[in-house]
Homo-oligomer: A and B are copies of this chain.
């Protein structure tokens, strides 16, 4: 049986080939090594896959949207490189974070280079100039929102009164808008009209919101090897994710919360506590409801294999275990 992962993976080689073309070996060598370090470290390529399948779903050829797909992945990866400096995270996609190898200065400059390349290849899409320009504007508007989300995330660290609504607004900006932009730009590259492209944006935004809300649960319940970073790191850092906002509202505060370094036993205890409190269930159901709202946006599309694949990816946002 062809799984949704197979559908996503079929784009892996063309995406990786285009990445190599965008970053040829050149001087200064260190800068270009630092710039491709994270993006060649793997990752599910979920955003570019959504973009390319959206192109197909509106009747276009994914080959014409390859630059846009790589642009989106580069933009996503650049924000990770800068975030890892900010959050002092040392591992990303199973590799040492850029700043741990090339220093903060190196990671700042490599991130800026990646973002420049991201815009450059979006502006260079093989399509009418109006469409390439529109896609470029969506990309940069999205990056501004991602920055707003990242700023809110940092602000929230020093606040104890963050509401669920504020938290959802933050992750919408920090994460979901890029899923929205991926689907919307994919649709535009496939020749979709405004209305269809906007529906695709909403599909990406809402399923991306479900994805991120679910991610907070995965951070706690998925073993480190699968997760590619330390299990329970949000809880360890004392981060008020939706899971903890709900638990604290119910008067539940796991010992592990904000403890810094956790043993496997402490992680397991926390899982039991947050299961009992109903917080894990609450977050999972909320994620599911957003994903379902997102899927409904695809009613605008005629039936096709690509549409079915987008719906499968939406489900995968919830069923994935890492």
Q: Which chain A residues have a beta carbon within 8 Å of chain B's beta carbons?
A: 27-28, 30-31, 79, 82, 85-86, 104-106, 108-113, 115-117, 119-120, 123-124, 128-130, 132-133, 136-137, 140-141, 143-144, 147-148, 150-152, 154-155
| Min CB gap A300→B, angstroms | 27
Residue of chain B at shortest CB distance from A35: B147
Supply 9 further A-B pairs (C-beta < 8 A) apart from A115-B115, A128-B129.
Answer: A85-B104, A85-B105, A86-B104, A108-B108, A111-B112, A113-B148, A119-B136, A132-B133, A133-B136
Q: Which of B120, B123, B133, B143 contacts A144 (CB 8 A)?
A: B120
Number of this chain's copies in the complex: 2
Contact A143 B108 (CB under 8 A): no
Residue of chain B at shortest CB distance from A34: B151
Q: Which of B108, B130, B136, B144 contacts A113 (CB 8 A)?
A: B144
Give every chain B residue within 8 A of A116 (Cβ-Cβ).
140-141, 143-144, 147
Contact A123 B109 (CB under 8 A): no
| Min CB gap A151→B, angstroms | 4
| Min CB gap A83→B, angstroms | 9
| Min CB gap A165→B, angstroms | 14
State the CA gap A143–B150 with chains docked (Å).
23
State the CA gap A112–B116 with chains docked (Å).
11
State the CA gap A113–B79 with chains docked (Å).
11
